[in-house]
Amino acid sequence: MKASILLLLACAAVLAAGARADAPGEPEALVRKVQEYAQKVKSAFSSLQESEAAQQARRWLSDNTDLVKQRLAWLKEQLAELWKRTPAV
């Protein structure tokens, strides 16, 4: 998912930089604007990853992984029992 968001943002950066380019014949200006935008996106992702909310989410996921595995195992057992009880048609 992260890669798809980066790709989407990169495409948006190219379109935005193209729209903002002063002269369409100057590819260097377009490249520079795309690089600037990509740096801003990278910085935003870095700050998001380092945010307290992201750290809490990672801690919560790591703490609750066993619980999720237990619930999935229980669900699998229930489905197996249901499958055994279902008459063949």
Encode pLDDT of 32-41 as tens digits: 888 888 888 8
Q: DSSP letters along 46-65, please?
A: HHHHTSHHHHHHHHHHHHHH
Alpha-carbon gap, residue 87 to 89, rounded angstroms: 6
Enter the pTM of the model. 0.38
What values do phi and psi take at 21, rounded to 5?
-65, 135
Higher pLDDT, 55 or 88: 55
Alpha-carbon gap, residue 25 to 35, rounded angstroms: 18
* 26 DSSP assignment: -
Mean pLDDT value across residues 55-77:
90
Q: List the chain domain ranges.
A: 56-88
